[in-house]
Structure 1
Amino acid sequence: MKNRKIQHCVEVFGGIAWLLLYKDTLHLTDIQKAAGTLIKYGWSFSGQGTSYAFEVLNSAQTLISKISELRERFRNLAISNESFEKCIKRWDQENTFLYLDPPYFGAENVYPGINFGVEWHVLLSELLKNSKATWMLSYGDHSVIRELYKDFHITEATVKYSGLANSKKHPNTPELVITSPLHTQKKLNRSAKTT
């Protein structure tokens, strides 16, 4: 009985597990990329994509349930796979909420293949300063970021990354949650109530 369940699990994940190792993502469909990302962040240790663990007995049903739950939760959500410049310009409307999570300043080397220098951080802050949308931005706590967004609401938060949660060697990591001006948020609340 146990072998049958393991085989079923292998069949379910075998068809998409190769996506995790596939380097040439230009030839993948958006659905294939999404499936690979779901597996990477849902089942790999700390979302790193280097080692994986999941319950054999319930993995297939769990994945199906999660996809169904996400589909309902994000029914009216638009996810853009484009530069932040294009995304902000396209969605820059008063009734829009944008969440941005750029590469953290000073930690850009953590993101392979991404060249996100100081000029990109400055450009992002300039676009958001002039945006009509309500937005929220998460960043690692850094003096350069605090200076770029000093005119906005900044909330300090501490995070213990899941892969390090049980380790006493790794303290909480300071992060910032930066939000658009309050008057923009009030406009969004008014439009949400009338629709």
Structure 2
Amino acid sequence: MSWIGGKKSMRELIVSLFPLYYERYIEVFGGGGWVLFHKPPGNDFEVYNDFNSLLVNLYRCVRDQYEELQNELKYVLNSREDFDEVKAVLDKAYVENDVKRAACFYQLIRYSYASGLTSFGSQPHDIRSNFPIIEQAHRRLAKVVIENKDFEKLIRQYDRPVSFFYLDPPYFDTEKYYKNVGEGGFQKEDHIRLRDTLLGIEGKFLLSYNDCEYIRELYDAPGITIESYNRINNIKQRYDNGAQFSEILIANYDMHERERDGLGQMNLFDINNEFNKEEISL
């Protein structure tokens, strides 16, 4: 599903840069789950985490109660009034049932303008057409641990020499666009706290960020590699065709060890399993 900072356009590159060996995969800022769903399922222990409790509740319901969730989603929002009513119910915490709360939240994502959760998008969409995708996501999440923790607590809990963390935090100086990332939002102090936590772990990490001088200086440390990549800027693309957005990937290991070992991008995505054949995203 569309989500602020989602990695739809970069998911294949990111997965191709995963380390050769790890036993634990932990996605610290899970968001829309684009990387997790694109990652071929294996024998590794997988964790999805996000601080947004509504998002986490949705994914837990997809994993554990997808049929009940689909039943709650059978009603189509046909007007701005319907959308505003669902939003008011969710905003005032009237929904005590987990499944109903997940259904309201998912409806707001699917029917809001640019998935911003605030205004009706006015685009015709029968949400029931997403039922096969929800079922696929249910199967993919079957053995995934879904957490709702602060990033530092989560990293310290799951850190082992065999752990691999993928992190896509709120980008520096764009924190205002991220909803429900913690009391007071994601502050400059949190970027520093994240850096300090990562530089002290036993495992490996791969970190996505916007390319800016502050973040480059923050991670200018021994054993840390920084590489830059460009992608299409989806926001500016509407009025500036071909506009690019510069991002960096930061790691504490050799990001190209798969390529050097002969397990390049082509071979990595040629794995024969049903989840690699069909795109899964809510």
Match of 1:52 among 117, 121, 124: 121
After superposition, the C-alpha distances for 1:55-108 in whole angstroms (9 at most, x for unaligned) are 54x530x32111112122333333321111111111112333322222211122
The 5 A counterparts of 1:1-195 are 11-13=74-76, 20-21=87-88, 22-24=90-92, 31-32=99-100, 34-49=102-117, 50-52=119-121, 56=125, 59-60=127-128, 62-112=129-179, 114-151=184-221, 152-168=224-240, 171-182=243-254
Percent identical = 23
Letter in 2 for 1:90: Q
Letter in 2 for 1:82: K
Using structure 2 for the length normalisation, give the TM-score: 0.50
Q: Given that residues 19 and 32 in structure 1 are in contact (C-alpha distance below 8 angstroms), is that contact kept between their aligned partners in structure 2?
A: no
Higher relative contact order (CA 8 A, sep 6+): 2
Larger Rg: 1
Compared with structure 1, are the counterparts of its residues 74 and 173 closer, same or farther at alpha carbon in structure 2 (3 Å cutoff)? Answer: same
| RMSD value, Cα | 3.4
Letter in 1 for 2:194: L
Q: Given that residues 46 and 163 in structure 1 are in contact (C-alpha distance below 8 angstroms), is that contact kept between their aligned partners in structure 2?
A: no
Distance 2:94 2:152 in 1: 21
Q: Given that residues 114 and 121 in structure 2 are in contact (C-alpha distance below 8 angstroms), is that contact kept between their aligned partners in structure 1?
A: no
Q: Given that residues 136 and 180 in structure 1 are in contact (C-alpha distance below 8 angstroms), is that contact kept between their aligned partners in structure 2?
A: yes
State the Cα distance separating 1:45 from its structure 2 match: 3.9
Letter in 2 for 1:160: I
Q: Given that residues 210 and 246 in structure 2 are in contact (C-alpha distance below 8 angstroms), is that contact kept between their aligned partners in structure 1?
A: yes
State the Cα distance separating 1:51 from its structure 2 match: 3.3
Distance 2:167 2:134 in 1: 23
Structure 2's unaligned 5+ residue stretches are 1-72, 259-282
Distance 2:236 2:112 in 1: 14
Letter in 2 for 1:74: L
Distance 2:147 2:92 in 1: 20
Structure number with the higher helix fraction is 1
Letter in 2 for 1:150: D
After superposition, the C-alpha distances for 1:139-171 in whole angstroms (9 at most, x for unaligned) are 111111111222322221223344544431682
State the Cα distance separating 1:129 from its structure 2 match: 0.8
Using structure 1 for the length normalisation, give the TM-score: 0.68
Distance 1:176 1:54 in 2: 34
Compared with structure 1, are the counterparts of its residues 128 and 59 closer, same or farther at alpha carbon in structure 2 (3 Å cutoff)? Answer: same
Compared with structure 1, are the counterparts of its residues 143 and 24 closer, same or farther at alpha carbon in structure 2 (3 Å cutoff)? Answer: farther
State the SS of the aligned residue for 2:91: coil
Distance 1:161 1:36 in 2: 29
Distance 2:204 2:98 in 1: 27
User: What is residue 60 of structure 2 aligned with on the other side?
Assistant: none
